[in-house]
């Protein structure tokens, strides 16, 4: 994409909860200047194109000061993987899926939770879909730590 310094892709399964929350929070935390030079988006390994974000995910986003009500799910495509500088997945199974399907993708795939602290480098972020608002909030808390840690990583390595 022209005039883009970084392309960052968040991936979960359905692209209804975790990846839209991560995308929305990431956008909220970046300056307008950095946003103007970046492409931040999300997709799902098993998404049904056009579905709205889960109602409870929308509620949790609003509780945390951003809006994902306009989000529409999209299926992960080859171009997404090829164009991304960083791909942040919520689960090891998503990382494995992407590396199996798309050659040379393993070097840019990271577990989002790996940015939230040493003890969580190889852990999944639980999928709250179909559960209570408390599960959504719990997953969001982990997503927030990961997103903030990822931003610190980008800043430390002069990507932002």
Q: Which residues are catalytic?
A: 12, 18, 127
3-state secondary structure of 40: strand
Hey, which residues does 110 pair with through a beta bridge?
88
Angle at CA of residue 20, ends 18 and 21, nearest 5°: 65
| Number of residues that this document lists for the chain | 160
The residue among 125, 130, 159, 11 whose CA lies nearest residue 73 is 11
Hey, which residues does 9 pair with through a beta bridge?
41, 87
**Helices 133-156 and 55-63, interaxial angle, to 10°?**
60
């Amino acid at each position: 994409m022209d005039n883009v310094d970084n392309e960052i892709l968040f991936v979960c399964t359905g692209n209804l909860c975790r990846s839209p929350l991560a995308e929305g929070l990431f956008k909220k935390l970046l300056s307008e200047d950095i946003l103007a030079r970046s492409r931040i988006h999300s997709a799902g390994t098993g998404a049904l194109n056009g579905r709205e974000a889960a109602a409870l995910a929308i509620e949790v986003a609003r509780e945390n000061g951003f809006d994902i009500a306009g989000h529409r799910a999209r299926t992960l495509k080859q171009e997404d993987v090829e164009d991304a500088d960083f791909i942040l997945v919520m689960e090891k199974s998503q990382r494995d899926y992407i590396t199996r399907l798309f050659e040379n993708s393993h070097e840019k795939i990271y577990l989002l939770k790996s940015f939230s602290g040493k003890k969580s480098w190889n852990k999944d972020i639980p999928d709250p879909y179909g559960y209570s608002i408390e599960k959504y909030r719990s997953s969001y808390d982990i997503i927030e730590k990961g997103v903030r840690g990822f931003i610190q990583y980008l800043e430390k390595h002069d990507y932002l």
